[in-house]
Amino acid sequence: MANQAFPRPQLTGQPVSQKTTVEPKTRPLPLMPSSSGEVADRLFGFAMLTCAVAILGLLVLIVYELVGRSQLSWHAFGWKFFAGRDWNPVEEHFGALPFIYGTLVSSLLALIIAVPLAVGVAVFTTEMCPKWLRGPLSFTTELLAAIPSVIYGLWAIFVLVPLLRQYVQPFLARTLGWTGLFEGPPYGIGMLAAGIILAIMIVPIISSITREVLMVVPQHQREGVLALGATRWEMIRIGVLRNARAGILGGVILGLGRALGETMAVTMVIGNRPEIARSLFAPGYTMASVIANEFSEATGDVYLSALIEIGLALFLVTIVVNALARLMVWSVTRGLPARAHV
């Protein structure tokens, strides 16, 4: 196409890549593949645009379907749906509070366990360990992310839960029973098991984002702190972590988003009982797992609609959480790193 411009010197000053669309009306030169190339270009551009718009369309479709199909439940219960504690499919009375509670508590528990571990791993791999160990270590942590959720669940049922029941829960009840968080019969299955398996699952995402963020902290920041006589740990604390905290927080929130929506592993170990209990030993239920368990057996339109409304709520929460996390990570990795320590 660029050859078309060749006999017309006044156009040669323009960048090459723009010339393809410069002159639609000139007669094609004998050597050129006629205007069919231009039609093909248009068609190709349009096809690619369609693909891109399809992504937008998918999101619209998700919102449309979720909102549309949850109307029945919305009209029946309104805001009280999210405050009601009663989940009774027989009398068609639905309240989602036990599920919201279960989702929040299991995710927060997972964060409490996972964040120190993930940040520790990230700091160790980027700042402390010898160079040859770096690649293998980050690869193995990423491997944790490749294990399917259902396999985590399987492992949790047959290894983690018996372990909790026999050793960990009796120990916790003896030492920390007075807090009220660790009392009741040690079933193994319950909120604690769900929190632990979730923690194992979200460590890779938090640590990989933290590592990414730590790596964009400028090298002279580290050198400067070291030059003032700091030890390595002081250098990491003052020169690295303080600069990267917005990004690390973003990674943590991204992990939270993952934990909120996680379904299979949690469904397999949380016990699936719609109750609100203070003790972490007690069984619970999450928003995602109630959908997984009851959706295909939901008889009655209101029942189905109530489940879809839970799905809509879960969708909205994860979108807000994810958008927030992306913005925070971007503020560190894309913006000026120096800005973060103000």
Partner 1 sequence: MSERSSNSVAQSSLLRISLWRRFTDCFATSVAALTVVLVLLPLGAIFAYLVYRGIGSINWAFLTQTPKPVGEAGGGMANAIGGSVLILGIASLLGVPFGIGAGIYLAEYGRNRFGDIIRFTSDVLNGVPSIVIGIVAYSVVVLRQKHFSAVAGGFALAIMMVPTITRTTEEMLLLVPQSIREAAYGLGVPRWRTTLSITLRTATSGVITGVMLAFARVAGETAPLLFTAFGNQYWNLNVNQSTAALPLQIFTYAISPFDEWHRQAWAGALVLIVLIVGAVAAVRIAVRRGALAGANN
CB of 125 to partner 1, least distance (A): 8
Tokens of 62: 């998700």
Whether 308 contacts 72, CB under 8 Å: no
Residue among 315, 342, 327, 138 nearest 250 (CA): 327
Contact 97, 241 (CB under 8 A): no
* Alpha helix segments (H runs only) across 216-238: 219-227, 232-234
C-beta separation of 22 from 30 below 8 A? no
**Cα 84 to Cα 73: distance, rounded to the nearest angstrom:** 13
Place of tokens 């190709």: 44
Q: Note whether 51 binds partner 1 by CB under 8 A.
A: yes
Task: Please give the residues from 149 up to 188 whose contact with partner 1 meets the rule CB under 8 A.
Answer: 149-155, 157-159
Contact flag: residue 128 with partner 1 (CB under 8 A): yes
50 scored as a contact of partner 1 (CB under 8 A) = yes
CB of 326 to partner 1, least distance (A): 6
Query: Quick one: 147 or 276, whose CB is closer to partner 1?
Result: 147
**How many CB atoms are located within 10 Å of the residue 299 CB?**
7
Residue 6 vs 278, nearer CB to partner 1: 6
Binding positions for partner 1, 60-79, rule CB under 8 A: 61-62, 65-66, 69
Site for partner 1 in 188-247 (CB under 8 A): 200, 203, 207, 226, 229-237
In the set 242, 326, 331, 333, which binds partner 1 (CB under 8 A)? 326
Q: Tell me the two tokens of residue 152.
A: 């985590």
One-letter amino acid identity for 274?
A: P
Beta-carbon contacts of 218 under 8 Å, excluding residues fewer than 6 positions away, are: 337, 338
Minimal distance, residue 178 CB to partner 1, in Å: 26
Among 47, 90, 336, 342, binds partner 1 (CB under 8 A): 47
Angle, alpha carbons 328-129-225 (nearest 5°): 65
Q: Single out the residue of 14, 40, 88, 339 in contact with partner 1 (rule: CB under 8 A).
A: 40
Nearest to 255 by CA among 190, 192, 209: 209
Contact region for partner 1 (CB under 8 A) — 73-81, 140-148, 166-174, 208-216? 140-148
CB of 334 to partner 1, least distance (A): 12
Pick one of 59, 112, 176, 338: the residue that binds partner 1 (CB under 8 A): 59
Instruction: Candidates 91-99, 167-175, 176-184, 315-323: pick the segment binding partner 1 (CB under 8 A).
Output: 315-323
Question: How many residues line the site for partner 1 (CB under 8 A)?
Answer: 100
Span of 75-83, 176-184, 308-316, 333-341 interacting with partner 1 by CB under 8 A: 308-316
CA distance 72 to 101: 23
* 338 makes contact with partner 1 (CB under 8 A): no
Site for partner 1 in 8-37 (CB under 8 A): 16-17, 19-20, 32-33, 37
When binding is defined by CB under 8 A, the residue of 147, 168, 215, 276 that contacts partner 1 is 147
Q: For residue 88, report the phi and psi dihedrals to the nearest 5 degrees.
A: -130, 90
Nearest to 122 by CA among 198, 49, 210: 210
Q: How far is the CB of 180 from partner 1 (least distance, A)?
A: 27
Nearer to partner 1, 183 or 309 (CB): 309
Distance from C-alpha of 231 to C-alpha of 223, rounded to nearest angstrom: 11
